[in-house]
Amino acid sequence: GEDVEQSLFLSVREGDSSVINCTYTDSSSTYLYWYKQEPGAGLQLLTYIFSNMDMKQDQRLTVLLNKKDKHLSLRIADTQTGDSAIYFCAESIKSDMRFGAGTRLTVKP
């Protein structure tokens, strides 16, 4: 298909790990991105991974890339209430950046 797909909702308890999954479309995508949108705000780049990498870690964030399956995941360790937001997966295809619909992460105390 032509869409970047991700589940719409995820709910976790504070302190647990969150894993947000995404499948993308184009094996030639050079970069894959995770954006975060907090309530009432625009999207902001959270992290990205170059397509020749399998994993990238940045403090509490771990990005895993499975190019064979075109699967991207974002793991947030020790999830906090401040992590509640919508998380968007995105891929770059030539000059076009395609976003998934976003996963709304709710963190319960």
What are the distances in angstroms from CA 60 to CA 46, 83, 92?
12, 11, 24
Residue 95 within binding range of another protein, rule CB under 8 A = yes
Residue 48 within binding range of another protein, rule CB under 8 A = yes
Residue 87 within binding range of another protein, rule CB under 8 A = no
Residue 42 within binding range of another protein, rule CB under 8 A = yes
Distance, CA of 7 to CA of 102 (rounded, Å)? 7
Q: What's the chain's Rg over C-alpha atoms? A: 13
Residue 68 within binding range of another protein, rule CB under 8 A = no
Which of residues 98, 105, 108, 109 is near another protein by CB under 8 A?
A: 98
